[in-house]
Structure 1
């Protein structure tokens, strides 16, 4: 399954990026306030390399001795590499992930042996617990804790302040032990810096971290939390994948890496943390203290409003001897989350097909925030099938609960081609007959177009050719050049364009 070497740390991945001409160091001083985001966005839009800012300037203009790494997953190829494969290997990886979700019994010894990579991946999820680790080479506690010494960016002019944007936040439920890593949750939740030792933890109610916090708060207890800054790419991407709640992201990263994850006990909280990370912020989230988080620029391209979220007091900062700080920005696509979303959508296709077999292809346009709109190509066989697929996507798959528009097309339409989509809408869809509207369904509260926060309508558009009882008219025949004539034309035009034709 894995075609690239394992990357046990962020540094090993950066070395690979450098070897493949996808890494560049920036010697110029660049401010963490707005400037770094502007440079990052410019490079990302050019599909450029990973950048390491060697002279980040802190608020006030003082230089930081901690370099900042950005644009780690600024291309789909690097996202795939972080998962251990090339772009060509994504389909096989998607099929593998689908098989892990719904494994089928092996058919004989030959089939069982062919599934050895799956077994090996499952075994790789058992963590290896260390007594010491690179990430604990330096330990800062008590009065030595100073978040303001880290080069944490303020990304947009309207932002409320410094914001940590690539944290892997590790939690566990109240009724678990620190050694029970299989019950951990690792999620990417942004964290606003309040002062030298306090953060605001922005985790939404439906996310795993918030559920764990509730389990501690119900007991009147503070929640132990570890924020991983600069994890290995498998851990970073596992934390962003929509995995089932029963699957621990830390152990799943071992399956992606084909290696047992290396963990070490945290210094001041009862949690295990990745041994080869760059920086770890340890601390406790209050069961009842909140502070207004935001406003901050979000993936929608708008600033979200300030809202109360729990406060975390940082009890320790541990890091490597010469740590790197990993960062990114969120904004109107393109941004790194949108690029990661493109790859994750492709990985999800085999799982979607397992539940809805008639799905031929699917695209969630990055420009539509990577989830607000979907275009689905289906193998249509019977009347009403397009509507059935719409409702199946909305009802069967949680990741589509915030998708407010689904367009269904036939297999002769490329769902990733806007011209194909426009032609299908113009020639195969009647606005009265083929548009389905649903009221009061779940929606991302960041969608300012919704009438009520968290509730909005959904639209399904059937842009397929109508068959049988769907229409009373004979449908027109689609024009198409024969394959033989198309090949003849391609050869002749190629010779004409090269100057060798008669």
Structure 2
């Protein structure tokens, strides 16, 4: 399914972007405290290139390594990270959906046609490296990493693109299928201490609970500057039974390269730029935040587990990868747009009547969904709403779902507002649910972690849903529309 060759590490991907004229080096000094945020956001809003800051400074002093940002600041670069052209993201999504639930084989010809699927499955087996590049050198402590302080109200330096690697208590270091890789922000609170902010529904938090029940210290590794397939796999809302580490092989089109960590019983990406290793001890927490977040607000400070660093390994001349999270558009919202198209075939496989689904980036990517269905029976819109809310943990944070008919473009606000205005009655077509899971960062919720859900049925009402004859939609004859276009071809330019 790949249109591009595999990118074994971040450097290979940057070389590709450079060859496309999509990577710019900034030679002037840029301060990691607040100033870098302004540069990154302006580049993203202008759909500009990925940036490499060669003279980054920390508190006015030269950083010890270059800083890379805006890596996935355009849809084209996210698609490239997935290995496909932008118009082929849907095809990749269909391929991944088929991998999850393959149809029975119908003869030898059909079996041979599925070789790409077999090759993708084989790519999930990781390859062990005896001399991993990421362990070529060691850093003294966290102060040697030019960690960004993004927003003026932030509590301290924040690692924003960490791939946090955990496994459950009782497992073995080589049981990769049990691993969880998540992108959780990490606050630096000392030269050898990091706060890991994983929310209760995330895989890292579930692993942490298993170690805390056993009252044993938990090994954790934080990989910085991973290859694009691993970065995007860690950010994807995959099912809990799917390991991001092994899944990255499918996206990469090549096996993940791993190595035993230097000081903790975990496997780590062999070609990451930097790996921070350490232990989370029972009861060791610290107040994390406040930090500016994807909602456009600063979150409140809350206690989260602390990682006591035991080692920091790195490649020679490492790169530090960073990003900025804020009110959309930001890099996570751009990634979310592409993930929307990538996930659609999987959603349709589970809810067949769904024809399209749009998560508006301005609604913080997943707080609102507009769904187009092929409606066949009364109550179908409500069934689709409930199916979506229960499908993936990420959808449990979708506070509003609008369902429209198949004659409406769900990505066109004019179409959606027309459907809401003419096909939805507030007394009949609103479904309100209370006491459901919600992101702690949603200050509109009356209780932390719990909030309501709103479903809006903007479909044409049929059968027992109405007692009135429904109006007919006005449309022109297609032949007349074509004739109009012909007559106006020289007039409308």
Could you tell me the TM-score, scaled by structure 2's length? 0.98
Matches within 5 A, 1:52-451: 52-59=52-59, 61-140=60-139, 145-451=140-446
Cα distance in 2 for residues equivalent to 1:282 and 1:388: 45
The 8 Å contact of residues 64 and 144 in structure 2, kept in 1 or not, is answered as no
Cα distance in 2 for residues equivalent to 1:139 and 1:148: 13
Cα distance in 2 for residues equivalent to 1:249 and 1:357: 26
Tell me the equivalent position of 2:37: 37
Task: Tell me by how many angstroms 1:488 deviates.
Answer: 2.0
Tell me the equivalent position of 1:3: 3
The 8 Å contact of residues 353 and 374 in structure 2, kept in 1 or not, is answered as yes
The 8 Å contact of residues 300 and 331 in structure 1, kept in 2 or not, is answered as yes
Cα distance in 2 for residues equivalent to 1:250 and 1:234: 9
Quickly say closer, same or farther: Cα 1:279–1:90, change in 2 above 3 A. same
Cα distance in 1 for residues equivalent to 2:63 and 2:387: 51
Q: Deviations over 1:262-293 (max 9, x none)?
A: 11111111111111111111111122111100
Q: Give the secondary-structure state (helix, strand or coil) at the position aligned to 1:407.
A: strand
Task: Tell me by how many angstroms 1:220 deviates.
Answer: 2.1
The 8 Å contact of residues 55 and 65 in structure 1, kept in 2 or not, is answered as no
Cα distance in 1 for residues equivalent to 2:171 and 2:226: 24
Quickly say closer, same or farther: Cα 1:113–1:45, change in 2 above 3 A. same
The 8 Å contact of residues 9 and 227 in structure 2, kept in 1 or not, is answered as yes
Cα distance in 2 for residues equivalent to 1:150 and 1:383: 58
Cα distance in 2 for residues equivalent to 1:472 and 1:265: 67
**Unpaired segments ≥5 residues, structure 2:** none
How large is the Cα RMSD of the aligned pairs? 1.3
Matches within 5 A, 1:7-22: 7-22=7-22
Cα distance in 1 for residues equivalent to 2:294 and 2:321: 18
Q: Give the secondary-structure state (helix, strand or coil) at the position aligned to 1:100.
A: helix
Tell me the equivalent position of 2:25: 25
Cα distance in 1 for residues equivalent to 2:223 and 2:251: 18
Q: Give the secondary-structure state (helix, strand or coil) at the position aligned to 2:372.
A: strand
Number of positions where the alignment pairs a residue of Structure 1 with one of Structure 2: 493
Task: Tell me by how many angstroms 1:65 deviates.
Answer: 2.9
Q: Is the deviation greater in 40-49 or in 340-349? A: 340-349
Cα distance in 2 for residues equivalent to 1:101 and 1:399: 18
Q: Deviations over 1:89-143 (max 9, x none)?
A: 1111111111222222111111111111111111111111111121111124xxx
Could you tell me the TM-score, scaled by structure 1's length? 0.96
Quickly say closer, same or farther: Cα 1:345–1:183, change in 2 above 3 A. same
Cα distance in 2 for residues equivalent to 1:104 and 1:33: 53
The 8 Å contact of residues 168 and 228 in structure 1, kept in 2 or not, is answered as yes
Q: Is structure 2 residue 489 aligned with structure 1 residue 494?
A: yes
Q: Is the deviation greater in 370-379 or in 238-247? A: 238-247
**Unpaired segments ≥5 residues, structure 1:** none
Task: Tell me by how many angstroms 1:473 deviates.
Answer: 2.2
Q: Is the deviation greater in 172-181 or in 9-18? A: 172-181
Q: Give the secondary-structure state (helix, strand or coil) at the position aligned to 2:204.
A: helix
Tell me the equivalent position of 2:47: 47
Cα distance in 2 for residues equivalent to 1:98 and 1:44: 31
